[in-house]
């Protein structure tokens, strides 16, 4: 094998490697999701009380002001105020007047 084809072969391998890395890192288009103002999706809200039962990590500090890790506390959201795709699907259609 002559040096030129060796070089081309190496280049192709390098290009394939980089392309593979880029392809893996690239993410698809963001899917619009029904998200509440608290940042949690509708699926993490109670369907009846609409309170959020997701847990959020809260920083805790010692008395001296040192970071002491996370504690998981319930989300303070009390009502889901984001869009409701389910309601749109199941909302009763207004019937046209029959008269
Ligand atoms: Zn929440
Ligand atoms: Zn919420």
Q: Which residue has the tokens 């809200």?
A: 45
Indicate which ligand has the atom closest to the C-alpha of 56: 1
Is the residue at 20 inside a domain?
no
Q: How far apart are CA 24 and CA 90, in angstroms?
A: 38
Which of the four pLDDT bands, split at 50, 70 and 90, describes residue 24?
A: low
Is the residue at 41 inside a domain?
yes
Q: Does the pLDDT value for residue 4 go beyond 90?
A: no
The pLDDT value recorded for residue 59 is 95
Is the residue at 49 inside a domain?
yes
Which of the four pLDDT bands, split at 50, 70 and 90, describes residue 27?
A: low
Q: Count how many domains the chain has.
A: 1
Is the residue at 27 inside a domain?
no
Q: Are 64 and 71 in contact (CB under 8 A)?
A: no
Q: How far apart are CA 49 and CA 56, in angstroms?
A: 19
- pTM of the prediction? 0.48
Is the residue at 38 inside a domain?
yes
Is the residue at 13 inside a domain?
no
> How remote is the CA of residue 29 from the centroid of ligand 2, in Å?
24
Residue 54: give the domain boundaries.
Answer: 33-81
> How remote is the CA of residue 43 from the centroid of ligand 2, in Å?
10
The DSSP bridge partners found for residue 74 are 55
The pLDDT value recorded for residue 77 is 95
For the segment 33-78, what is each residue's pLDDT rounded down to a tens digit?
Answer: 789 999 999 999 998 999 999 999 999 999 999 999 999 999 999 9
Residue count of the chain: 99
Judging by DSSP bridges, how do beta strands 55-61 and 67-74 pair with one another?
antiparallel
Which of the four pLDDT bands, split at 50, 70 and 90, describes residue 83?
A: confident
Which residues have their alpha-adjacent CB atom under 5 A from ion ligand 1? 38, 40, 52, 54, 75, 77
């Amino acid at each position: 094998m002559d040096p030129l084809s060796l070089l081309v072969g190496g280049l192709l391998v390098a290009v394939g490697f980089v392309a593979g890395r880029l392809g893996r890192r690239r993410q698809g288009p963001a899917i619009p999701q029904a998200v509440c103002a608290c940042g949690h999706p509708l699926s993490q809200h109670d369907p009846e009380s609409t309170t959020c039962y997701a847990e959020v990590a809260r920083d805790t500090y010692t008395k001296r002001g040192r970071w002491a890790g996370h504690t998981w506390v319930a989300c303070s959201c009390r009502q889901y105020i984001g869009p409701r795709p389910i309601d749109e699907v199941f909302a009763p259609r207004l019937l046209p007047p029959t008269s």
